[in-house]
Every structure is written in C-alpha cells, then in structure tokens.
Structure 1
Amino acid sequence: MGLCKCSALKEGSFVYLSFMGNIADSDSFIASLCKHFVQIALCVCELYGGWMTFSPEWLMGSPNLNTNSRLYFWVYLVFFNSVWVLVPGLLLWQSWVELKKMYRKGTSLGKKFQ
C-alpha cells in the first residue's frame, strides 16, 4: 500500500509541476526526479498501459465496451482516453526537444576541448 501511495504522489506532483510551471527551472526534489529520464519513463508507461487496456477490446470487436451510444463512444471512450494519449505524447515531445538541446550543447563543448 505504501508503494502505491508513493507512486501516486510522484505522478501527481509530476503533473502539477508540468502544468503549473516548468520542471526544468524548478529546484525541488520531485522536479529533479522528473527531469528527462523519469518523465520519459512515466510517459512511455502511460502510453503502454493505455494500449494494453484498450487494444485487446478493440481487436476483439469491443464485446465489453458499449460503443452503440454516441455519448459512451465519443465522450467516454474517445475523448477521455485521448487525453491519456495526448498529454504523455506532448511531454515525450518536450523531452525529445530537451534531449536534443543537451546533446547539441554537449557536442559543441566537446569540440572546444579537442
């Protein structure tokens, strides 16, 4: 039970820091954990979990999902689950851009010392 609470605390603070400020500029301990690697790992895990939850249902013809109703299909299934794809996707893109900046900065420093 303690591990679940710790994970929820990390994910909650990660989302808060992502939307209410800039993780890169924050000096808190949780922000330092979320810089680059942890953000990438959480986003990939979130996307994988969403895929493993819904792809078997879609591939089997959605026997356990009520897709006949427009409300259930478009609001509950498409809209709310697209949020769980869009947010991690945007954060992965942010990580990619930051990693490219770090790589370029590192290679330009390496050329100066050679």
Structure 2
Amino acid sequence: MDHPYYPLGVSIPNYRPNDLPLSRSLPIFGTLIGAVVLSAYLLAGSASDSRRRVRPVDRFAASWFALCGFLHIAFEGYYILHRTDISGKNTLFAQLWKEYTLSDSRYLTSDIFTVCVETITVFAWGPLSLITLLCICTNHPSRHLFQIVVCVAHLYGVALYYATNWAEQRFHSVSYSRPEFLYFWVYYVGFNAPWAVVPFFLLADSYSRIVTAFRTLHEKESQQKNE
C-alpha cells in the first residue's frame, strides 16, 4: 500500500492512514501533557515546608522529569509494545506516532538502533525520571545524583539519535524524514531539541548545588580541626 514516508519505497507493511485529524489528536495529547506537567509543578510547591524554600528551578525540574516520565513510559512504551503493528493501528498514540514518523520512518520499520534506544529509554530513563521527580518533591539528598544520571543519558541519547540520522544522510544518501519544513525542522529537530538543551541547564544546577554543599562541608571540617 502507498504511504507518505521516506525514503521512497521503504517497506511499511499493513500501513493504515490516520482517520483522526491532527487538529483533534494534538489537543488531546497536549491536554494530557499539560495535566502531567501542571500536577508536578503544583506537587513540587505543595511539598515545601517552613524549613525549605522551593526554588523556581526545582519546580521546573519537577515538571520536566514528570514530562519525561510520562513520555518515556506511556508514549514510548506504547511504541515498544506495538512497534511491529503500529502502522496499522488508529489509536490516539498510534496516530501520533505515525504523524511523528513522517520525520523519521525508522520507527515504522523496527530499525534496530531505534528499538534498542527506545527500549532502554522506556525501562531505564522513564522510571529514573519518576524517581528524580520523587526526590525533588521530598527534598531527598540523592536528588542530584539521579538528576545527573538522567540528564547525561538524555544528552547521550539525543546525540546518538541525531548523529545516526545525519550519518545515514551523509554517507549513504538515505533520508528518513520528509523534506518539508514541518517534518524535518519542527518535528525532527524541534521536538527533540529540548532534550539537547534542558539537560545542560539542569546539570549546571546540580553542579552548583554539589559544589556549594562540598564547600560548606569542607569549611565545617576546617573549623572543627581548628577548634
């Protein structure tokens, strides 16, 4: 059956066109994401007490890791569960995946790299994102350890994701994305860009907090030695 995906002629068995307009499916998905992010933002604020001031960056981080947890476990988990037949499904998540894969058809061809990266994301980075969220809301001492691990994982993953696609285009002249601005620059580049930017910001915050904590500890130990 004909399909709109690149490279032209790529085999996508049992392809079934979406029957829900993007103008309807996207607001539903956006509402789900908004509910998750807003809930985490409010939870981070309500978890504060008189002894601890919740910084704006903490609320942002809580919202970010809630978003990551939802996308990794629910949305990408759906892909892993239905990766062999998603092209023929018309559930909300399947239709959103088929729309996104206009920018990267590897998701509809069971590409080994994509399946492996998504499997690790679903079973490792998704749960760790939620653990980080819990640590933020409870002010747990291990918060920055988990935050650093997840942020580095996101940077590594998005670097590989961009690099493998670029290498296929550069060395094999194979493009998995349609050439239109919407699909390449908005979907492929834009939708993934936050995972190449936000982790740097959160890593900088973790670095600052850890350095401050150890500086305070060293000063305290020096004072105790001098007494």
User: Could you tell me the TM-score, scaled by structure 2's length?
Assistant: 0.39
Tell me what 1:77 maps to. 188
Could you tell me whether the CA contact under 8 Å between 2:168 and 2:175 is conserved in 1? no
Where does the alignment leave 5 or more consecutive residues of structure 2 unmatched?
A: 1-121
1:1-114 equivalence runs, <5 A: 8-12=126-130, 14=132, 23=136, 26-27=137-138, 32=140, 35-61=143-169, 63-66=174-177, 68-114=179-225
Where does the alignment leave 5 or more consecutive residues of structure 1 unmatched?
A: none
Could you tell me whether the CA contact under 8 Å between 2:178 and 2:184 is conserved in 1? yes
**What is the distance in 2 between the residues matched to 1:109 and 1:101?**
12
**What is the distance in 1 between the residues matched to 2:123 and 2:165?**
29
Q: In 2 relative to 1, CA 34–42 (structure 1 residues): closer, same or farther, beyond 3 Å?
A: farther
Q: Which residue identity is paired with 1:111?
A: S
Higher helix share: 1
Q: Which residue identity is paired with 1:77?
A: Y
User: Could you tell me the TM-score, scaled by structure 1's length?
Assistant: 0.70
Tell me what 2:75 maps to. none
**What is the distance in 2 between the residues matched to 1:7 and 1:57?**
22
- How many residues align? The count is 102
**What is the distance in 2 between the residues matched to 1:51 and 1:74?**
16
Residue identity (%): 27
